[in-house]
Amino acid sequence: MHEALYSETSPPVDDADLIALSTPWNLFLEIAGPSVEALAEIDKELLDGLRSAGFQLTNGINGSGLFGLSLTRGGGYYIDKGCSQLIIDRKIKLQHGEITRFTPTGVTYSDGTTADADVVVFATGWPNMRDTIRPIIGDEVADQLTPVWGLDEQGEIQGTFRPTGHPRLWYMAGGFQQSRYGSKILALQIKAVEAGLKN
């Protein structure tokens, strides 16, 4: 997916970041569908194996893949690091539903069934950074802050690398690519405030 911009024959990283992040997010999500479909075809065997094991798959919001889920929900996707094959091989079992209680050897589900488990993993996504910081800064300040993540009405990522709603409180969020690029924009904004050019 990123081979043209991030490989041994690609442009310098600063240029690659500028090219990669120059498309407005709303447009990027609108045109992501064909790439998502092409990747699904490349990974067809893997995806079919996951489906047969009961893994619930999605092409994301309006077919935009993990990018749409990442930008709007901050979760709902998994980037395979080897676990998919363990699921396909049934070395990791999946169970959908709600756990109502833990037992000495496992869990009980809301439908009354039980399962033995060595490990229980709660894949819940990430809480909004505004809520994560609330115990540190208090409700009065936290209530002034914009949500972090998701797209605003202009298609820009909310809350991160930009004003948060409270003076001199800034967020950075995202992967290395977004952080390399966004940290420069954030540094310019902080410098403008410190120089009295911006409130």
Using one digit for the tens of pLDDT, what is the confidence trace for 55-68?
Answer: 999 999 999 998 88
Mean pLDDT lowest among 20-29, 66-75, 145-154:
66-75
The verdict on residue 98 lying in a domain is: no
Residue range(s) defining the domain that contains residue 147: 126-192
The verdict on residue 148 lying in a domain is: yes
The verdict on residue 154 lying in a domain is: yes
Q: Which residue has the higher pLDDT, 166 or 75?
A: 166
The verdict on residue 74 lying in a domain is: no
The verdict on residue 31 lying in a domain is: no
The verdict on residue 83 lying in a domain is: no
The verdict on residue 1 lying in a domain is: no
Number of domains in the chain: 1
Alpha helices in 21-99 (DSSP H): 25-31, 33-42, 44-52, 65-73, 83-88
The verdict on residue 163 lying in a domain is: yes
Average pLDDT along the chain? 89
Q: Is the pTM of this model over 0.85?
A: no
